[in-house]
Structure 1
Amino acid sequence: MQKMITVISNVLRGSATKNGAKAVSEGTRVVVSARTYADFTPQATFDIKKCDVHRLEEGPPVQAVLTREEGLQYYRTMQTVRRMELKADQLYKQKIIRGFCHLYDGQEACAVGIEAGINLTDHLITAYRSHGYTLTRGGTVKEIMAELTGRRGGIAKGKGGSMHMYTKNFYGGNGIVGAQVPLGAGVALACKYQGNNELCVTLYGDGAANQGQIFETYNMASLWKLPCIFICENNKYGMGTSVERASASTDYYKRGDFIPGLRVDGMDLLCVREATKFAADHCRSGKGPIIIELQTYRYHGHSMSDPGVSYRTREEIQEVRSKSDPISMLKDRMLTNNMATVEELKEIDVEVRKEIDDAAQFATTDPEPPLEDLCNHLFYNEPPMEVRGTNPWMKLKSVS
């Protein structure tokens, strides 16, 4: 059995005597502790919170199996999202990131849990709090940070900013409140039309939940039995307004009426993962759309212009951090069940911090896109065309 032996030596040296002779060391104190690395628990089963259900005979399981490898990967990804957002906060306050910027820290279990419940060949579209999903959908920290600072190496070549990032099968980051929901249904329609057994996860916040276009989309998705998982990330506040003041009914998982729904603990990664798997099976079996309400919480304000403490107290935020933090919850589960060591998780933390620092360095030194890139990529696979009105003294060509 492999063991890591930690030896801490404390040698107490004596000073020289008056006649110049050296004193013998008073002694050596050795503390030995053994840590077993070969006997990690490879997987464990956890009890998770039961989901509230609407128009369903049964919901997701109330137990979830977590392997050590999954746990370490989930932990790393959530820490990366957390640290990336904290770095974005710092760069914004230094006026290196400008314009709109909506941070995701506190909601990491939603993005990572959803991704763990679907396939990369499935599709996803969300609103403007999109940095975490850009990462889980295959973007890199370097590309995301460079996009935030408007640099050429950004994931949208510096022309999209915080709200408009894209990867394969990920359709953004969308700035118009609720407008991504009908787009997501359109992607789901394409999945059904092509018969590829894929689905679309369509996300929106509680602040968008009263938009009329969402209910129109529910209707069409239900009539056409589209493979669409509608997910409301209910972080309790639409901008600075609490859900109780904004919605006559805060049971967002029931708002589809004729569409089945689930209300899920969005701070518990395993709850989110199991609910997403359940919903994905529902869609793939041809039963049509399903709604998930993820009850979550954001630590920052709505955007960087919102301090986040004028409509809620610091004590409320701290209470969520201390009792329901998604990263702490996963960490405690893994440590309690001997699935990892404190040292191992600290090592991941150090690696993540370095990755974030390196990405921030790139994002502040990479050049901005040149003017001639302004009109590029207006259309897909079109020959160059002249773009008028960009500058009265210059004619630019678009390049696809």
Structure 2
Amino acid sequence: MGNSQTTPGIVAGRLPADRIQENFDDLHPAYAPHEAAVAADRCYFCHDAPCMTACPTSIDIPLFIRQIATGTPEAAAKTILDQNILGGMCARVCPTETLCEEVCVREVAEGKPVEIGRLQRYATDTLMDAGKHPFTRAAPTGKSVAVVGAGPAGLSCAHRLAMLGHDVVIYEARPKAGGLNEFGIAAYKAPNGFATAEVDWLMQIGGITLKEGQALGDQITLPGLKDSHDAVFLSIGLSGVNALRAEGEDREGVEDAVSFIAELRQTSDLTTLPVGRNVVVIGGGMTAVDAAVQSKLLGAENVTIAYRRGQEAMPASKYEQDLAAQNGVRLMFNVQPVAVHGNGRAVEIELEYTTDTGSGLTGTGETVRLAADQVFKAIGQTLGDTPEGITLEGRKIAVNDTGRTSLDGVWAGGDCASGGDDLTVTAVAEGRDAAMDIHATLVG
């Protein structure tokens, strides 16, 4: 966040330490065993389960809930992890309200679904807390695979390949593994270092070497990886940040929301993290909500999310929108930034009202100004530098349905690859499926 600590209006310690700690407690407390049993008992164990179809990783949800109901949560965890090795994190961060729980028969009939996400967390936590890793590594194949990026897709791919007997080297640009699970989601969704603990647990499979501080294009190159490994999987995420295209966006106090969240996630004492008095977040997705809510929890007095389209088009789910509102965040729709005003630093942001003409979004000319000493950009990210020899589709790496790129021997998945919906659970599925295709290619 640069020198924002010296910026008037952006200060640390707006709330006492005990209040901040309380604010950042676990968003959804874990089930006790008896609560899990009661929740599991609500499941109809549908034969043709719509929840399973709605899950991007195709977890056998009725089976794992039945296993919880019969008192075998560790078996339930194995059912989950067979399909989704990051099932513990996905149970915390998945928008279950728009995936498995939205199509639950109980939701359709009664408006109250089986709490699938919390049941999944109960099962995976039970297994991980016991220190168990339910998978064993196959006999070594003698093949080596490079995985570039230790986010959800890369970790999923690496684990599956290692389990199948391949040697895997993960090259990670940051000093710590985890990707957006570690750096990019709200702290209250995964407190107590869960992302790090999950990576450590995943690595128990063996056969995986993690090399941190290794960025593609700097310390490592794609031709070099192809020469030293039998296959390469790219899961490099999105490192570029879209511009506001608003006058004055270079003023002090205008920052990238992802960087703010990353710093928050890596700060050991949240009372030292500066936040503005008047915060405006530009965007409408999960990152916008995470940045806005956490600003409020740090003590910002006025926090506004400004989204250029109507509420029905907002990418963040209704649940996330409600969470923002419950925490005192103001939601503004049909507004786009045109200028950030101030003498060197942000003081106000000017927003223009928008309308959808049917052929696209356009400004109406009518504007409104909001006090803003801190403005967060949460309007999406871009790939950054294109890996050498790789074809793009739009602004992402072009891949087929098993993650193959245009370059022989190179696969890709996660946010950097075409298709998908930029969800952790989708990235896990893409990494797993690419691993199976890499395996078939190497041993076939």
Length-normalised TM-score, structure 1? 0.23
- Which of structures 1 and 2 has the bigger CA Rg? 1
